[in-house]
Homo-oligomer: A and B are copies of this chain.
Amino acid sequence: MRICLIGAGNMATQLGMALLEKGHQIVQVWSRTQQRASGLASKLNCPYTAEISSIISETDIYILAINDTAIESVLAQRSWGNTLVVHTAGSTPMNILAGYCINYGVFYPFQTFTIEKKVDFDRIPVCIEANTPQNLEVLNGLAQSISQNIKLFDSNQRQQIHLAAVFVCNFVNHFYAIGEELLVDKGIDFEILKPLIIETASKVVYQSPESSQTGPASRNDKIVMDKHLAMLADYPDLKNLYSLISERIIQTHK
């Protein structure tokens, strides 16, 4: 397919590279800033623009891989004709596109993307939704070209999945950062946490998180928890988080 990529961030970069690798043609990249547009265009070996008025019409699909907050303002600045337009945002309903496009949908690769780290799309769930069966068929074909794991979800389901992702990915990653912070403050290398982090994640593949739960809160070990709270005296926000999450684990495992 001919693909016009609107956006040049983490999602646009990884998705663009995966699509190109599978033989699709990226016909143009647009980004708000010239520098980001040209940066991604050079990776995808394609033209670019920073002007919405210069976005070309000769494409089979527009993929809006931009922040939820930017979608409507970009949509409003141009008419999209009959061409299929999709966004890639977890928490934005498909219907946001209804006022601006005739053929539209959502193409949501469910993964965490950063510009630097290449991602193997093969097993990434790609959640699709479209305003007509025909458009859904097109999106299904596009999704199958990069992944074996296609999911049909409506906007409500997708929003719930995105909310769950904030806990299991964004917040989890912040907890990795907290771990690093606690060690660095005492001159200990973050390296030591890596086998534990990998094992903790690997377990979810084999057993439910509830049956994997270990640690002082799961056995209601107040002596260790009090020791930890005392050690967090200099980190009032972490102390608060420690109490709240421990309490939730205690309640779950009672």
Contacts and interface: CB of A to CB of B under 8 A. Distances in A.
Categorize the interface residue count of chain A.
35 or more
Nearest to A151: B192
Contacts of A91: 216, 224, 227-228
A183 to B, nearest CB: 5
Given A204-B176, A209-B180, A242-B166, A231 B171 contact: no
A212 B173 contact: yes
B167 A182 contact: yes
Contacts of A232: 163
A113 interface: yes
B177 A209 contact: yes
A242 B212 CA distance: 23
A182 B164 CA distance: 6
A173 B245 CA distance: 11
Given A68-B223, A170-B215, A244-B241, A192 B160 contact: no
Contacts of A144: none
Interface stretch (A38-46, A52-60, A193-201): A193-201
A218 B212 CA distance: 29
Query: Which of the listed residues A176, A186, A199 has the most CB atoms from chain B within 10 Å of its own CB?
Result: A176
Contacts of A167: 175, 178-179, 182, 238
A17 interface: no
B192 A169 contact: no
Interface in A228-254: 228, 231-232, 237-238, 240-242, 244-245, 248-249, 252
Contacts of A211: 114, 116
Interface stretch (A26-34, A76-84, A117-125): A117-125
A193 B218 contact: no
Given A212-B173, A224-B68, A200 B160 contact: no
19 contacts: A112-B199, A116-B207, A117-B212, A149-B195, A159-B231, A164-B179, A168-B197, A169-B196, A171-B245, A172-B197, A173-B214, A175-B175, A180-B209, A194-B204, A197-B201, A240-B244, A241-B241, A241-B245, A244-B244
